[in-house]
Structure 1
Amino acid sequence: MTPRMNIFQAAPDAMKGMLAVEASIDASGLEHSLVELVKLRASQINGCAFCIYMHVKDATKHGESDMRIHLLDAWRESPLYTDRERAALNWTESLTRIAKTHAPDADYELLKTQFNDKEIAYLTVLIGAINFWNKVQIGLRAVHQVEENAAAA
């Protein structure tokens, strides 16, 4: 696969804005592990290899277990996720699939059992941001790094 362009070179001011959004999410107080699970789950749904690669690397670097990463697609059936993570992952799926779900009240009510208004606001911005990044990286054919020992034989 050949990248179509480098968006950071083509639209630097827009990317500065997105990086400022990312910095605000990082400073929001949401747990880093939760943020990475949300980014990874949305990226799985959207099929963004570049983002999946990036967020698996970041999550493992910060102590996330391989098993929780492997089971993330089946989080509803696994006891490895907390109630707070489940509410966030449910909201992630609801917003990432918004054309189908329309963000039902039940999903929002579940979210309110685990998060306060500020956290819900930042979580919602986070989900919007990762969906933006997925669309940009898929649309412009970003290619993730390939480590020698990870490449197919």
Structure 2
Amino acid sequence: MERITYQDIPAGMFENLMTTEKFINQSTLETKLLELIRLRVAQKNGCAYCVDMHHKELKHLGETDLRLSSLCVWKETPYFTEKEMAALSLTDVLTKLSRDPLPEIVFDELIPHFNKEEICYLTLAISQINTWTRLMKTFKFTPGNYQVKELA
């Protein structure tokens, strides 16, 4: 049972968050990479609603079952590109924050694959999905009902 329903949410809250989503989605970052990041954050934060959503989005984009099932152990698999691994490393560090500064090695691994603007977008995308997972865990939206929207 949902604690807070969609109808209980203050007017404009989701709409403003979606403005940020649109901004991120219009960046030069690939949609599949953004969805991998989103699914990884959802896994790390234990958000069933977001895991369901981003798993379905990745399947819709043609992601393989092998990579989807291995994302939770991505460091131990050979299935992800160096670019994806650099982004996933940043995702893991920024999702479970420590009091320490971002390790230089995490930033340095991004440099061959992303320009500074893209690193800014990656950071915002990771922050944004962390916001969504915290909202969904608080509101307790029911997982399983998400439907991928077909683009017109």
TM-based fold match above 0.5: yes
Separation in structure 2 between the aligned mates of residue 103 and residue 55 of structure 1, nearest angstrom: 26
Partner SS, residue 4 of structure 1 = coil
Determine the structure 1 residue equivalent to 2:84.
85
Shift in Å, 1:113: 2.3
Name segments (4+ residues, structure 1) moved above 6 Å: none
Per-residue CA distance 1:94-146 (angstroms, 9 max, x = gap): 10011366422221111122110111011100000000000000011111135
| RMSD (Å) for aligned C-alpha atoms | 1.6
Determine the structure 2 residue equivalent to 1:45.
44
Structure holding more helix per residue: 1
1:95 and 1:101 in contact (8 A); partners too: no
Identity %: 34
Unmatched 5+ stretches in structure 2:
147-152
Determine the structure 2 residue equivalent to 1:60.
59
Determine the structure 1 residue equivalent to 2:150.
none
The count of residues paired between Structure 1 and Structure 2 equals 146
Separation in structure 2 between the aligned mates of residue 101 and residue 138 of structure 1, nearest angstrom: 26
Shift in Å, 1:8: 6.1
Unmatched 5+ stretches in structure 1:
148-153
Partner SS, residue 87 of structure 2 = helix
Residue 121 (1) aligns with residue 113 (2): no
Determine the structure 2 residue equivalent to 1:13.
12
Give the alignment's TM-score, normalised by structure 1: 0.89
Partner letter of residue 86 of structure 1?
Answer: M
Determine the structure 2 residue equivalent to 1:3.
2
